[in-house]
Amino acid sequence: MVVAFAILAAWELVTAIGVMASRRPIYNALSLVANMLGLAVLFLLLNAQFLFAAQIIVYAGAVMVLFVFIIALLNPQMDITLSRPSMEWAYGLIFGVVFAGLILALVYNRDLTGIPGPFTPEVIDAFGNVQILGAVLYSRFLLPVEVTSVLLLVAAVGAVYLAARKIR
Amino acid sequence: MIVNVNAIGIDYTTILPELVVTGTAILVLILDLFIPADRRRILALVAILGLLGALVASIPLWGHNKFAFGDTVVGDSFAAFFNVILALTSILTVLISPRFLRARQLDYGEYYVLILAATAGMMLLAAATSLMTIFLGIELLSLALYVLSGFARTQLRSQESALKYLLLGGFATGFLLYGMALIYGATGATTLRGLALVAGSPTAGGNALLLLGIGFLSVGLAFKASAAPFHMWTPDVYEGAPTIVTTFMSVATKAAAFAAVGRVFVAVFPALQYRWYVPLALIAVFSLFIGNLVAIVQDNLKRMLAYSGIAHAGFILLGVLPGTPDGLASTLFYIAAYAVMNFGAFAVVTSVGARGEETANINYWRGLFYRRPFLATTMTIFMLSLAGIPPTVGFFAKLFVFRSLVVAAQTANSGQFWAPLIVAIVMTVVSFYYYLRVVVVMLMTPEGEVTEREPVGASMGTVLAISAAATVILGLFPGVIFDWASTAAGVHL
């Protein structure tokens, strides 16, 4: 288990660096696909098979395919060049160091226990993965689910308004 | 596994204002299909009626503390206070919208749908008592505002404004979510009630995971409130967006963001005040410095008001610093005062710039008193109030915030509250320069010929008169609103 996690964590790091290191947008997007696939396997390690499938179908599948298509439709050969590299690099460096320091402080902190939730692997095995997710989603998180539907409606209205070629 | 949905406490009265606003948005969306293009005023009317309904539906929440839907929302005085501010802001916005939209050939029904959706998101944020609903409220209002910033979709400035807001907003949302994930990891709770239980335990102050999570959460909220150093988007977005959208956004978004800040820091984490005091005080001091100092050199009124908005975010945040209901009451009063005076100021900019955006340049305002005396007079009132000169409401807003810091310093008997207070007082004096500069410029003799360009319009005239009257009357009788703010600030979990 620990070994699998270590390999996956390394995979995630490498692909995450790939997202920002390459100057070709298409390689950035493909690295992001690889990163999301790794994340899906992490879900699998945590006994969340449904999330594993959803992550692959929705993110690595649908969302990223759109990304790759859009990049291919634009100019995939074009390199990204930063016009004024100096200041951006300085800001990024300062921010990166502070961020790394915070994460390090976390690693050396002894209180990283968290409080375990009610859904242990045994409980999930007894009731079934999808059943529990559905039950929680439509009881404890009923209102958030409903608000999400409004959110999607607003997104659709906004996207149609901005993208429509001609409005009455 | 048996699920009992009723056990989570389904109570539609707690979210009735949000439901009414969302329902109105859907109704407007459908009506837009049938109403001919030249009669879109009906949509504005429907929107106003819906918002009035939400206003009425908020009043029964006053004095209650009704948790519902598995502790994800609450109907209390705090939520009702913000619902009233938000509904009134939206009503005033919609009142002055049709004329502006027609002049810019932007008169589409989607505008009202998006304004209503943003209002629903803000109301949800004010009532949210769970990390999930806080996040969804912020996303709902942001998504609608991204599109509204780019509503003048054929104009490059508006497109740029929308894209900048979207990209930076997405980045801030990332921080917000990361913070929430860390908080969940540390506490195992998503509801604020559950969080407050863990945060009250003696070991919470040493839990790095929780503290880092709170830190990232504040970054996300400070972005929405446009507090420095997370303010970079504000001037560009405010300048590029259609002025009417800026008017709504500058007031309502700040109010909603501070509703979440107030509930999270004062109600959930008061025990950790000694931990979050310094970072939050730094954000306040940064906002005061950057907002006031950069506003001095702005020649574009929309940019000047954007920086002034950053400065006011600093003032508003001062009331949260003590971590007490008394301090929060002064913050709530400030938000109400800011809503009235800043809405008015931007509405004047809207009215002056109804023909095109270049009128936001200060040179155009030269001699406005002689050309358009009504607009210039109301603008003077709003500028004096924003500067904090008695007898306007802006003076008492600052006074109450300063007083809450002095009280906190005396009761805690520690010097830490003096530093932000001194910065705030010095920066108030600095702010006189750029607010009064507008008044002076308007009083100068006009260069060209004195011609009346176009009348103000009945609805705009009414809205400006109401805002100006409220700025003065609330300044003469601040006690009423302050009593309400004190009641609303007594948030319980």
Q: How confident is the model at residue A39 (pLDDT cuts 50, 70, 90)?
A: very high
A95 contacts in B (CB within 8 Å)?
none
Q: Which residues in chain A touch residue B120, judged by CB atoms under 8 angstroms apart? A: 150
Q: Is residue A100, in this structure, part of any structural domain at all? A: no
- Number of structural domains chain A divides into: 1
Q: What is the pLDDT of residue B426?
A: 95
Half-sphere exposure of A135 (CA within 13 A, CB side): 13
Of A106, A132, A141, the CB nearest to B212: A106
Is the Cβ pair B108, A140 closer than 8 Å?
Answer: no
- Alpha-helix runs per DSSP H in B413-451: 418-443
* Cross-chain Cβ contact B187/A114 below 8 Å: yes
Per the CB < 8 A criterion, the answer to whether B394 and B388 are in contact is yes
To the nearest whole Å, the CA of A133 is away from the closest chain B CA by 11
Residue B396 Cα distances to A79, B330, B335, B340, angstroms: 56, 9, 12, 13
**Residue A136 belongs to a domain:** no
Q: Which residue is closest to B68 within chain A, CA to CA?
A: A143
What is the residue whose two structure tokens read 């919208």? B97
Instruction: Find the closest chain A residue to B22 by CA distance.
Output: A150
Q: Which residues of B touch A138 (CB under 8 A)?
A: 3, 5
Q: In the predicted model, what is the mean pLDDT of residues A146-166?
A: 90
Query: Cis ω on the peptide bond leading into residue B229 (within 30° of 0)?
Result: yes
Q: Where are the alpha helices (DSSP H) in A63-110?
A: 64-73, 85-107
Question: Smallest CA–CA separation between B5 and chain A, in Å?
Answer: 5
Interchain contact, B15 vs A135, CB within 8 Å: no
Q: From the candidates A157, A166, A167, which should be mutated to test the interface with B, based on the most B CB atoms within 10 A?
A: A157
Return the SS3 of B324.
coil
Q: Partners of B300 in the beta sheet? A: B361
User: Where are the domains positioned within chain B?
Assistant: 8-489
pLDDT at B136 exceeding the cut of 90 = yes
Closest CA to B283 of B221, B206, B239: B221
Query: Residue B440 has what pLDDT?
Result: 92
Higher pLDDT, B357 or B255: B255
- Could you tell me the pLDDT band of residue B176, with boundaries at 50, 70 and 90? very high
Neighbour tally for A74: CB within 10 Å: 11
Phi, psi of B453 (to 5 degrees): -70, -60
Per the listing, tokens 């029904």 go with B109
Helix (H, G, I), strand (E, B) or coil at B130: strand
CA–CA gap between residue B347 and residue B39 (Å, rounded): 24
Query: Residue B147 and residue A139: Cβ atoms within 8 Å?
Result: no
Partners of residue B75 on adjacent β-strands: B66
Asked whether the predicted pLDDT for residue A41 surpasses 80, the reply is: yes
Instruction: Quote helix, strand, coil % in chain A, to nearest 5.
Output: 75, 0, 25
Partners of B187 on chain A (C-beta within 8 Å) are 114-115
Q: Report the amino acid identity of residue B34.
A: F
- At residue B446, does pLDDT exceed 60? yes
Tokens of B103: 């002049």
- The closest of B47, B22, B21 to B32, measured between CA atoms, is B47
Q: What is the pLDDT of residue B142?
A: 95
Rg (CA), chain B: 22
Average pLDDT in the A37-61 region?
89
Chain B residues 273-332 with CB within 8 Å of chain A? none
The pLDDT confidence band at residue A113, using thresholds 50, 70 and 90, is low
What b-and-e string marks burial along B263-279, b requiring 16 or more CB atoms within 10 Å of the CB? Answer: bbbbbbbbebbebbbee
Q: Residues B300, B240: contact at Cβ < 8 Å?
A: no
pLDDT of residue B357: 53
Residue A65: CATH number of its domain: 1.20.120.1200
Structure tokens at B465: 């008169």
> In angstroms, what separates the C-alpha of A114 from chain B's closest C-alpha?
4
Q: Which among A144, A153, A162 has CB closest to B72?
A: A144
Count chain A–chain B contacts defined by CB atoms under 8 A.
110
CB contact under 8 A, B136 and A147: yes
- Select from A154, A162, A166, A168 the residue whose CB has the most chain B CBs within 10 Å, as the one to mutate to test that interface: A154
Closest Cβ opposite residue B147 in set A112, A127, A158: A158
| Residue A97 located in a structural domain | no
What distance lies between CA B382 and its chain's CA centroid? 17
Q: Please name the residue of chain B whose CA is at the shortest distance from the CA of residue A147.
A: B136
Which of B126, B156, B166 minimizes the C-alpha distance to B21? B126
Q: Is residue A58 a part of any domain in this protein?
A: yes
Q: In the 8-state DSSP scheme, what is residue A76?
A: T
- The reply to whether residue A144 touches residue B130, judged by beta carbons under 8 angstroms, is yes
B399 burial type by CB count under 10 A (0-12 exposed, 13-18 middle, 19+ buried): middle
The predicted pLDDT at position A114 comes to 63
Mean pLDDT value of segment B130-143? 95
In B, which residues are within 8 Å of A102 by CB distance?
212, 215
The string over B429-466, giving b where at least 16 C-beta atoms fall within 10 Å of a residue's C-beta and e elsewhere, is ebbeebbebbbebbeeeeeeeeeeeeebbebbbebbeb
| Out of B143, B185, B186, closest to residue A151 by CB | B143
CA A55 to the chain's CA centroid: 9
Say whether B356 sits in a helix, a strand or coil: coil
Chain A residues near residue B133 by CB distance under 8 angstroms: 143-144, 147
CB B344 within 8 A of CB B471: yes
Which chain A residue's Cα is nearest to B3?
A135
Quick check: B450 pLDDT over 80?
A: no
User: Is the pLDDT confidence value at B411 over 70?
Assistant: yes
Domain annotation covers residue A30: yes
Please say if the pLDDT value at position B452 is more than 60: no
Query: What would the pLDDT profile of B367-383 be if each residue is shown by its tens digit?
Result: 888 888 899 999 999 99
Question: What would the mean pLDDT of B437-451 be, rounded to a whole number?
Answer: 78
Given an 8 Å threshold on Cβ–Cβ distance, is A142 in contact with B113?
no
Q: Which residues of A touch B4 (CB under 8 A)?
A: 139
Instruction: Supply B390's token pair.
Output: 């008695």
Q: Which of A127, A140, A161 sits opposite B147 (nearest CB)?
A: A161
Tell me what the pLDDT averaged over chain A comes to: 83
Round the average pLDDT of chain B to a whole number and report it: 90
Please report the pLDDT score of residue A79 as a whole number: 64
How far is B125 from chain A, CA to nearest CA, in Å? 11
Contacts B215 to A, Cβ<8 Å: 102
B207: pLDDT strictly greater than 60:
yes
From chain A, the residues in CB contact with B153 under 8 A are 161-162
B477-489: b (≥16 Cβ within 10 Å) or e:
ebeebbebbbbbb
Domain span holding position A64: 1-82
Non-local (6+) Cβ contacts of B483 within 8 A are none
| Amino acid (1-letter code) at residue B425 | I
pLDDT of residue A110: 60
In a domain, residue A156? The reply is no
Residues 6+ apart with CB under 8 A from B339: B85, B88, B89, B251, B252, B255
| Lowest model confidence (mean pLDDT) among B10-19, B46-55, B278-287, B365-374 | B365-374
Q: Is the peptide bond before A118 cis (omega within 30 degrees of 0)?
A: no
Q: Is residue A125 part of a domain?
A: no
pLDDT per position as a tens digit, B340-377: 999 999 999 988 876 655 677 888 888 888 888 899 99
Residues of chain A in contact with residue B70, where contact means CB-CB under 8 angstroms, are 139-143
Given a cut of 60, whether residue A83 has pLDDT beyond it is no
Give the count of beta carbons closer than 10 Å to the beta carbon of residue A7: 12
